[in-house]
Homo-oligomer: A and B are copies of this chain.
Amino acid sequence: MPVNIKTENKCQHPIVAVDMTIFTVQENTLQVLLIQMKKKPFQGKWALPGGLVKINETLDEAAKRILAEETNVRNVYLEQLYSFSDLNRDPHQRVISVAYFALINAQGIKLKTIPKYADVQWFSIKKVPSDLAYDHKKILKYALTRLKSKLEYTNIVYGLLPKKFTLSQLQKIYEVILNRKLDKRNFRKKILFLDLLKPTSSFQKGKHRPARLYEFKKRKPMFVEIL
């Protein structure tokens, strides 16, 4: 009995990919990493970086691998979001995508331009092309919602910050992501009361009065009511 290899390769089951929504905050804006596609049917379109899950790796491992392909960074905050499975989300074959989001501190990160993609770039969240490939617009929207809500009840913001930072930098990140102004005194009162931070003896030099630098006591995800 002849076997249709093509069909068998596509297999009778959906295959699984991971798509990464990689966030950073730079220049006082929330940014997301997009890649530009080389091949049809999405040639020239921008998309979230992603890839198929290999037979011998977990989803988390696949997500870390894909993250490393574009950025070099390791030990970043990584979280599984949701699995997207519309039948026609990929016109080429039946792919179920497990979406992840990552938070990275883009200071000193060099993006790799790899042959797989035409280009790799940070996009301000307000300037993301509205015609992303696949269902990536939907995924990005989902990721943004999750990011906003997790900022309010966890400490994951550490993922966006360098080791030492000022309280103003920290507050600015909250403001940029939540898209609203926060009261300086209330913000400081709350965040210091939570006992997540420890003051260092260093100060950030600048044009004005130097600001004390703080660091997180623990860079591990924790649940805490921040806002």
Q: Nearest chain B CB to A3's CB is how many angstroms away?
A: 5
For this chain, the copies found in one complex come to: 2
Contact B83 A83 (CB under 8 A): yes
How many A residues have CB within 8 A of the partner chain? Answer: 28
Q: Which residue of B lies closest to A98 (CB)?
A: B83
Q: Nearest chain B CB to A131's CB is how many angstroms away?
A: 23
B residues near A118, Cβ cutoff 8 Å? none
Indicate if A227 sits at the interface (CB-CB under 8 A).
no
Indicate if A186 sits at the interface (CB-CB under 8 A).
no
Q: Which residue of B lies closest to A59 (CB)?
A: B85
Q: Using an 8 Å CB-CB cutoff, how does the interface string of A114-140 with B read, 1 for contact, 0 for none?
A: 000000000000000000000000000
B residues near A225, Cβ cutoff 8 Å? none
Indicate if A75 sits at the interface (CB-CB under 8 A).
no
A14 to B60, CA, bound (A): 14
Q: Using an 8 Å CB-CB cutoff, how does the interface string of A1-18 with B read, 1 for contact, 0 for none?
A: 001010011011111100
Indicate if A212 sits at the interface (CB-CB under 8 A).
no
Question: What are 23 residue pairs bridging A and B, where the CB atoms are less than 8 Å apart in the complex?
Answer: A3-B3, A3-B8, A8-B8, A8-B9, A9-B11, A11-B11, A11-B13, A12-B55, A13-B15, A13-B53, A13-B54, A14-B15, A14-B55, A16-B16, A55-B94, A56-B94, A58-B85, A59-B83, A80-B82, A80-B83, A83-B83, A83-B98, A96-B98
Q: Which 3 pairs across A and B sit closest by C-beta, in order of nearness?
A: A11-B11, A8-B8, A59-B85
